[in-house]
Amino acid sequence: MRTLVAIVVAQALGLSVMSAPAVYAADQQDSAKIAELKKQLADITEELEDLNSRVAKNERHSATDRLTITGDFRVKSHSLHYQNVTWNPAIGVNFSDFGMRAMAGEYGNPMDADSPIGKMMAANPDLAAAFQSGMLQGVMPYVLAPFSQQDIDNDLLYTTRLRLNLKAKVWDNVDFAGRLSMYKNWGDSTGVQVFDSWRSFTMDGTDSGNTSGDWLRVERAYFDWRDIGGSPFYLSIGRRPSTYGPPSQYRENELRGGTPSGHLVNFNFDGLTLGYKLGEVIGVDGMVVRFCYGQGFESQWGNGELFGDTVTKDTHLGGFNIDVINDGNHFLQLTLFGAKDINDGFKGTMAFPNQLAAIFAPTMYQDLQKFDSFNFVTRVQPSGVIGDMYLGGIGYAYESDEDQKFFASFGWTQANGNGNAGMFGGMLSDAVFTAELNADGTEIIMSPAVADDDSTHNGYGVYVGMQIPAPYGKVGLEYNYGSKYWTPFTQAQDDPIGSKLATRGHVVEGYYIFDVNPKMFIKLAGLYYDYQYTGSGTPVGAPQKVSDVVAGRAYSLLPVVDKAYDINASLTVNF
């Protein structure tokens, strides 16, 4: 643009110089006209320079601002209360197998106090007496610690969540999108939690919904390639938008946040989606058919594969997600997918609780007692494949022109175990432990051998709710229920007590949203959890009746919550 201005001005000045002698020769009185012409040229030059400045600024703007950044910022205060928190740990031991091995002398001479079995009997006199009297036969509980029960109150928990949305137009039919997230407790950026429940286990799929510290994580990063070859097909690859899908976006007071049903999936994973906008072909508003594929676990890389003893497998996900109709008032969605080769856990980090160290690592615990407020942080990886899972569901939502919203969702899960088990169990089954000698033959240790059940287990969940206008905002009421074997992939939901939609039992939530302005709102909410079965949110371990654990009739390696409630208030700003 600067070159254009220079050329125009030079040509104008050149014309004025060439015409000046002719003007003077013809009429000396035209000097005033020449002066006027020069003034006009000066004005034109000034206008062109101003135009050049503005155009250059726009060029710089388009070159540097190709990435659009928006986001939201939320501060939240919780009052958390847990009732009848019960810890009654035990493992199922095959005492018949133990007896045969002991009688064969595999564990040494029981009369020798220095033999492995002699040491075990001395450390567990009650167990030794019961075994010698013939009271221990078959698979029976081996109690690991005394029964304990208490109510726990965390009267004040503050959290901050920052999410930055990234968008870029790559080409006419290609876009990039991403989201960076920070989610932290006030005064805590350690990144790991003491392992007292499956909620406290930090892993790839749940980082966005688990308070982990004051750093940004890549929650989403993917591209969309639309209208491929002029067809209704589109392709998207990357870290998927698989959190806060319908109808869970209503309680968040935001638009649909993810593709799959939020009742079945609120879990980060990497993969691809191949979609077809069928509605454009048959004339149904918003109808889209999607095939989704992803990998939920990498078994070899990073797990010490070069030692040659990796026994886990990659976990692959695949299935269909169909928006049957989405016309602005009515939304109907169908979901069906499967997860193959699920392991008894994920790669992750946790602070190992001293309570479990006393049970499973007694030698180390001798030193840990000197530092009772210390926990060692460990990288965890699963020990083997425990089976496959399938999930399906149907969800419907209605939004009136008066901003009234009503929804209902039904979900189904099926777990197919293969009989394998790790320390915490197999696929919705408990582990059966057998007694073995350690590497140097000096100590008897209990090792998980098989799962106590390899049958197929079906679970179901129901999720209903409404949101209607109210003075200064809107009010909402939601209810969800999960059966004994209900096992959705919603562990990234950021409820501190645990994903409400993964609950095996009842959850009721009520909230009032005050709209401060179109970009800012205050939310007052309360959630009440009534757990019916243990193990909410994990496919590992057999669900036990919470009432039986509370009464001391059933066991659990991790503490069990009977009932809980969360009273909270939050302020959210969108920018």
Q: Band the pLDDT of 373: cuts 50, 70, 90.
A: confident
Q: Are 133 and 279 in a shared domain?
A: no
> What does the pLDDT look like over 262-292, one tens digit per residue?
999 999 999 999 999 999 999 999 999 999 9
Does residue 23 form part of some domain? no
* 65, pLDDT greater than 80: no
User: What residues contact 35, with CB distance under 8 A and at least 6 apart?
Assistant: none
Query: Hey, what amino acid is at 525?
Result: A
For residues 566 and 435, state if they share a domain.
Answer: no
Does 19 score more than 70 pLDDT?
no
In a domain? residue 160: yes
- HSE value, Cβ hemisphere, 13 Å, CA-based, for 163: 18
Length of the chain: 575
Residue 221 lies in a domain: yes
Residues contacting 417, CB < 8 A, separation 6+: 386, 387, 426, 427, 428, 429, 451, 453, 454, 455, 456, 457
Tell me if 535 is assigned to some domain: yes
Q: In angstroms, rounded to a whole number, what is the distance separating the alpha carbons of residues 52 and 5?
A: 8
DSSP H or E run through 358 = helix 354-360
Judge whether 528 and 562 are in contact, CB under 8 Å. no
Instruction: Point out the domain boundary residue: 407, 433, 453.
Output: 453
Indicate the pLDDT class of residue 13, thresholds 50, 70 and 90.
very low
Residues 432, 458, single domain; the answer is: no
The pLDDT tens digits of the residues spanning 421-437 come to: 999 999 999 999 999 99
Per-residue model confidence as pLDDT tens digits over 186-208: 999 998 999 999 889 888 999 88
Check residue 9 and give its pLDDT.
44
Q: Both 135 and 209 in a single domain?
A: no
CB atoms within 10 A of CB 371: 10
- Do 269 and 136 lie in one domain? The reply is no
* Confidence check: pLDDT of 399 > 90: yes
Q: Is residue 152 part of a domain?
A: yes
59, pLDDT greater than 60: no
Residue 385 bridge partners (DSSP) = 343
* Number of Cα atoms under 13 Å in the Cβ half of residue 117: 20
In terms of Cβ atoms closer than 10 Å to its own Cβ (0-12, 13-18, 19+), residue 275 is buried
Whether 137 and 188 share a structural domain? no
Measured CA to CA, the distance from residue 533 to residue 560 in angstroms comes to: 9
Evaluate the CA torsion angle 141, 142, 148, 154 in order and state its sign. negative
Per-residue pLDDT band for 66 (boundaries 50, 70, 90) equals confident
Please state, in angstroms and rounded to a whole number, the distance separating the CA atoms of residues 552 and 555.
7
Q: What would you report as the CA-atom Rg of the chain, rounded to the nearest whole angstrom?
A: 33
Residue 297's domain is classified under what CATH number? Answer: 2.40.160.10
Distance CA 223, CA 236 (A): 5
Average pLDDT, the chain: 91
Task: Count the neighbouring beta carbons within 10 Å of the beta carbon of residue 76.
Answer: 18
Inter-residue contact 275 to 233 (CB < 8 Å): yes
Structural domain ending residue among the three candidates 453, 475, 498: 453
Indicate whether 550 belongs to any domain: yes
547 and 465, same domain (yes or no):
yes
DSSP 487-531: --B-TT---TT--GGG-SEEEEEEEEEEEEETTEEEEEEEEEEEE
Looking at the structure of the chain, the number of domains it has is 2
pLDDT for 311-369, tens place per residue?
999 999 999 999 999 999 999 999 999 999 999 998 999 999 999 998 888 888 888 88
**Continuous segment of H or E residues that includes residue 407:** strand 405-417
| Maximum C-alpha span of the chain | 138
**78 and 226 co-located in one domain:** yes
**HEC states along 117-186?**
HHHHHHHCHHHHHHHHCCCCCCEEEEECCCCEEEEEEEEEEEEEEEEEEEEEEEECCEEEEEEEEEEEEC
Are the C-beta atoms of 277 and 287 separated by less than 8 Å? yes
Say if residue 467 is in the same domain as residue 433.
no
Q: List CB contacts of 127: < 8 A, sequence separation 6 or more.
A: 121, 136, 142
Between 15-24, 422-431, 513-522, the lowest mean confidence (pLDDT) is in 15-24
Helices (H), 27-140: 31-64, 95-103, 116-123, 125-132
Q: How many helices (H) and strands (E) does the chain have?
A: 10, 23
- Total Cβ atoms within 10 A of residue 109: 12
Q: Which residue, chain included where needed, has tokens 């979609």?
A: 275
pLDDT, greater one: 57 or 507: 507
| 481 and 433 within one domain | no
449 and 510 part of one domain: no
Does one domain contain both 291 and 322? yes
Residue 119 lies in a domain: yes
Tell me: the pLDDT tens digits for 544-556? Answer: 999 999 999 999 9
Do residues 273 and 265 make contact, with C-beta atoms less than 8 angstroms apart? no
- For residue 443, the enclosing domain spans 90-143+419-453
Domain's final residue, options 453, 478, 511: 453
Q: Is residue 432 part of a domain?
A: yes
